[in-house]
Amino acid sequence: MKIDISTDSPLKHTSPALVVGCFEDARDELFTACDKALDGCLDRLAVSREFSGKVNTTRLLHTLGRLPAERLLLVGLGKRSELDNERLRQAAGTAVQALRVARVASFATVLHLSGRPEAALELVCEGTLLGSYCFDRYKTRDRDEQFGFEGMTLLLPKGSDRKITRSRIERTSVVCQGVRLARDLVSQPGNVATPAFLAETARELAKQHKLEFRVYEYEELEELGMNALVAVGKGSSELPRLIVLEYRGAGQKDRPVVIIGKGITFDSGGISIKPGAGMEEMKTDMAGSAAVLGAMQAVAGLKLNINLVGIIATAENMPDGKAYKPGDVITSFSGTTIEITNTDAEGRMVLCDALHYARRYKPSAMIDLATLTGACVVALGHEASGLMGNNRHLVNSLKLAGERCGERVWELPLWDSYGETMKSDIADLKNAGSRDGGSITAGWFLKQFVGATHWAHLDIAGTAWVDKSRPCAPKGATGVGVRLLIEYLNCL
């Protein structure tokens, strides 16, 4: 969606719709002016409680020539004293979703005037760009019924600096493009988004943004000894890969941050096969790698002054005569041996080799993102990603980044004693222990492969995909992780 700016007065600007924020307990000048132009209609709506400004509610009115805007879309902001960044972001998402329902393709907004001037512009742009997302690539029927947004015009106070405003909008839209890339990749079905497809996507990204690119194909993975990644990929005719992207925005000597994504393009569970119901959702098991690609794109677009490496361990987890199986012992890339007790615990297998590989960069920090455990969904639902790590500063920074950007994370403990159930009689480790504390034992397993490197693990199993629409994430893929990483990296 195109975003324009104008210094027209909201009462004089012509557009198909004007979006106005409304508090439950306060009225600003603009609201009062609109009310007056509409002969007290807004006041009526409040008195009759048809629209009282509650959070994330909307009301669309036709102005019938009383205002140059054809329609007025009121968006609830709740109590004035409770308006925070996330509320404003969500209000913008709620508004744009209501406009989609009404099929209003272009509109003007003054929502940003309700928030703090330092941040409101970005928040409204972000909410709008995220809330207007729709994945309809495979809808071929009723083409003429399909709807696409044209543009939004931000109405600014007279005397606003256009250049600064434009660059603020541009930076926000670069980040949202990253989120949209991640959402697209996660939305794609497993027969399209294969390991080869992820590698091609990364290659194109590298070409566009002048990143270093490398992909390790099957034979090279075998030669290198990435046997854990190879083992998971063995049951599929879609061969596994390790994909590496390097962005240089700082000096040679600056140690990079490494971000690592789980890229299981379909997780059937393998020989420890999953139940059929809901298995289609396992096309989203590459959401960690989608977040890595989205974040690499955004960081390159923003030209951040950091060095960043993105690593993707990708495979399809399938049952087959060649598939790895329970009881197998695999010597991982690090040399640590792993007894397979459940082939459905494949994410930690592909990640352990990627984490070990990442250490060659001597990173200042490494962060992995993975739809790793169903247990994380049980623990935190869809409201927060699980966070674990071995470094207090890194963990706290990610928590703060999560608060600021609205992608919340919640820390789980990683005490050594959680490792008891991961001990094997035959090898160094088992890949799956008891069901209890499943997210933590998975995190504990990963920790065995990071050495002393500062490391954090984000379990996004519950946050990468939502069954019910949210203001800034229509149902489906959320692109979680991209904004969190950018927020974290931006504050380094």
Binding region for Mn ion (CB under 5 A): 267, 344, 346
Of the residues 126, 246, 339, 344, which one makes contact with ligand BES according to CB under 6 A: 344
Helix, strand, or coil (residue 367)? strand
Neighbours of 8 (CB within 10 A): 16
**Helices 482-490 + 162-187 axis angle, to 10:** 140
- Please give the residues from 380 up to 409 whose contact with ligand BES meets the rule CB under 6 A: none
In the complex with ligand BES, the residue whose CB is nearer, 268 or 453, is: 268
- Please give the residues from 346 up to 385 whose contact with Zn ion meets the rule CB under 5 A: 347
Backbone angles phi, psi at 267, to 5 degrees: -115, 95
**In angstroms, rounded to a whole number, what is the distance separating the alpha carbons of residues 242 and 224?**
11
Cα→Cα distances 386→200, 208, 482, 489, Å: 30, 33, 15, 19
Q: Does 374 bind ligand BES (CB under 6 A)?
A: yes
Active-site residues, by number, are: 274, 348
Taking CB positions, which residue lies at the least distance from Mn ion? 344
Sequence-separated (6 or more) residues with CB below 8 Å from residue 214: 243, 244
Closest CA to 292 of 269, 268, 262: 262
Q: Count of residues binding Zn ion (CB under 5 A)?
A: 4
Q: Does 316 bind ligand BES (CB under 6 A)?
A: no
CB 351 within 8 A of CB 447: no
Q: Does 478 bind ligand BES (CB under 6 A)?
A: no
Q: Does 267 bind Zn ion (CB under 5 A)?
A: yes
Q: Does 95 bind ligand BES (CB under 6 A)?
A: no
Q: Does 285 bind Zn ion (CB under 5 A)?
A: yes
Q: Does 443 bind ligand BES (CB under 6 A)?
A: no
- Please give the residues from 224 up to 283 whose contact with ligand BES meets the rule CB under 6 A: 267
Taking CB positions, which residue lies at the least distance from ligand BES? 374
In the complex with Zn ion, the residue whose CB is nearer, 169 or 290, is: 290
In the complex with Zn ion, the residue whose CB is nearer, 77 or 350, is: 350
Q: Does 375 bind ligand BES (CB under 6 A)?
A: yes
Encoded one letter per residue, x for contact with ligand BES by CB under 6 A and - for no contact, window 354-373 reads -----------------xxx
Q: Sheet holding 455-459: strands in order across?
A: 212-216, 241-248, 307-317, 257-267, 365-370, 455-459, 385-389, 409-411
Query: If contact means CB under 5 to 8 A according to the sort of partner, which of ligand BES, Zn ion, Mn ion, none does residue 123 touch?
Result: none
Which tokens belong to 468?
């019910």
Query: If contact means CB under 5 to 8 A according to the sort of partner, which of Mn ion, ligand BES, Zn ion, none does residue 250 touch?
Result: none
Sequence-separated (6 or more) residues with CB below 8 Å from residue 428: 336, 337, 338
Q: Does 288 bind Zn ion (CB under 5 A)?
A: no
Neighbours of 279 (CB within 10 A): 14
In the complex with ligand BES, the residue whose CB is nearer, 6 or 336, is: 336
Instruction: List residues near ligand BES by CB under 6 A.
Output: 267, 285, 342, 344-347, 371-375, 377, 432, 438, 461
